[in-house]
Structure 1
């Protein structure tokens, strides 16, 4: 017969196990998607430690100069496709000057080849993690004539495509999309992506349907932090916000460390680093469908967006580009895209927050302490 003291101890241990084991399961999941490992050398500098803002100290640098830390800025240019090699020094050499001029041209800046204030302000802006130049080819600001309905060429587009111009095949005109289950997104947050997809559906023959089967979906949406295994590590608050892969890969990743705003007026947010979720979603969906970056600042496919900015309406440049790939929606009237619907906030600040991430070490320590009582 078991004594009452032993029975009490057994009940207590069972209770501890019932409390702790589910938490340990959660921590294993969190460890499977690392929170903030060190970034590989090929990744852009960490914006959370002032990495990008620190570039402003190079103001006035020009060809022939040598500045301590300039190699880190060259890494930035390498990451976004402007410099092909990765063996960097702190010398402001001819190759870097040429890369800088190409960057300035792409972003409609004066092509001085110098690190002037306007250029540096553009460099430190939050942006999409996709490269502006792929395989040495840049067409962001090349300009291309587009025909009118009468057959005459009268407008200039700056939309671009991925190398090889990949698209979803005609057999895939109803694309499915799903969300990584581990993120445990609310219906309110999911509705933001629905609205973003509708903007592209409004101008093309494509349709988008949500599915609960994430792993079999055509388009797979997930929030990650740091290095998440695709060679495109995230870098914390601001810096690179998200990235997406060309057709028919379907992967769309967002940096979970951002202060995402899913509802309300992001322009009035009290958080200086607040980023509008739908604005970024519309941009990255453009990549999922085959569009590259545009030099038109009003376009959704422009690479950067400042904090506390909402930009969700497709510009004519976006529409011309996507319709060159897929044709037009028969019901498209040639005006604006579908407006988003306002919905309830996911938390008091309106910022997106993922499921809690538990510290494995802390839980073990707490569990051990309880068991020793």
Structure 2
């Protein structure tokens, strides 16, 4: 019996994009030694220290592919040799400008230090347009203050955003990932960071197919043209409105307690920090050249960064306006449920939550 040609093709496609079982760890000490790599996927770039135009050095081919992936080399560029040409020099200068480095076009120590860091998989330059605002004419926008503020946030080309009529967005998790409630609540906190400063609200739904925002963990090539590369390297990526797709690399060592005070293995990645960043993309923000901003492209392993910076707030409010309850100060959201240094949960209570039981108790005491 002969099978139609499309049946094996569909079979292969299904298995090439099948979601992975991600690695979640409650704290850094629970990461098995077998999952901690000796080197990172981009660490070999360190051997290129001091390279400049006119040289031919092993490893420049891989660097060119890296720079093309993140938009610094045009996709029509095809000279993937180990020759340091004018195009590579120009790409490195643009990279250095975006990351506030000395724009020499040479691979100095500071430039390589940034290149080898784990980062978001979204490109910094899309279709020739930079989503980072460094080295450009600075913005002086501030919707909530009379202070003259220089902003470095950027948007996707065309400035896509969710429609004004759609302020209630739903999100869902890929069912095959079978995420725990603890992991799901972490994403809920990440969404709160953005709802605190905008009119947008985010509600979890069980219908993955109908959700506005779809979150999933995958491994390697997962069918969207942006394959993951294993531990570190690219950590996650998300698509601009109205696509709503948010993909994370299931091979990472995702830490959920956010406690890195006692150091961490080189491969430990704070899940909530990455989630807050990628949600910014889901809402229409590009990358920022402000290192303290959530929308900065890179984050070192063992780093926790979940508070929106002023640059993030200004950018998202240019797209959606402000939450009526936002007072214009720095965001100060404290997750209602945190962990202390021992890894156990504790709760933050508001004054009303503390007083209410006393009021009820006093009432019952005098009525019984």
Does TM, scored on the shorter chain, surpass 0.5? yes
Q: 1:90 Cα shift?
A: 1.1
Contact persistence 2:49–2:107 (CA under 8 A)? yes
Aligned pairs for 1:170-209 (under 5 A) are: 170-209=164-203
Aligned pairs for 1:115-194 (under 5 A) are: 115-138=107-130, 139-141=132-134, 142=136, 143-147=138-142, 154-194=148-188
Contact persistence 2:142–2:314 (CA under 8 A)? no
Q: 1:335 Cα shift?
A: 2.3
1:224: which partner in 2? 218
Q: 1:32 Cα shift?
A: 5.5
Residues in 2 aligned to 1:48 and 1:31: alpha-carbon distance in whole angstroms? 28
Residues in 2 aligned to 1:31 and 1:148: alpha-carbon distance in whole angstroms? 46
Structure 1: runs of 5 or more not aligned: 1-27, 37-46, 349-373
1:80: which partner in 2? 70
Residues in 2 aligned to 1:133 and 1:326: alpha-carbon distance in whole angstroms? 23
Is 1:113 the counterpart of 2:100? The answer is no
Distance 1:95 1:270, change over 3 A: closer
Residues in 1 aligned to 2:217 and 2:195: alpha-carbon distance in whole angstroms? 23
Aligned pairs for 1:1-373 (under 5 A) are: 33=18, 50-84=40-74, 85-87=76-78, 88-138=80-130, 139-141=132-134, 142=136, 143-147=138-142, 154-268=148-262, 270-337=264-331, 338-342=333-337
Contact persistence 2:153–2:315 (CA under 8 A)? yes
Deviations 1:257-279 (A, max 9, x none): 00101124034354321100110
Q: 1:69 Cα shift?
A: 2.3
Contact persistence 1:75–1:86 (CA under 8 A)? no
Q: 1:149 Cα shift?
A: 5.4
Contact persistence 1:146–1:154 (CA under 8 A)? yes
Structure 2: runs of 5 or more not aligned: 1-12, 22-36, 344-368
Residues in 2 aligned to 1:35 and 1:148: alpha-carbon distance in whole angstroms? 42
Residues in 2 aligned to 1:80 and 1:288: alpha-carbon distance in whole angstroms? 18
Q: 1:209 Cα shift?
A: 0.3
Query: TM-score with structure 1 length normalisation?
Result: 0.78
Distance 1:33 1:207, change over 3 A: same
Query: TM-score with structure 2 length normalisation?
Result: 0.79
Distance 1:112 1:199, change over 3 A: same
Over alpha carbons, which structure has the higher Rg?
1
Contact persistence 1:146–1:153 (CA under 8 A)? no
Residues in 1 aligned to 2:43 and 2:153: alpha-carbon distance in whole angstroms? 29
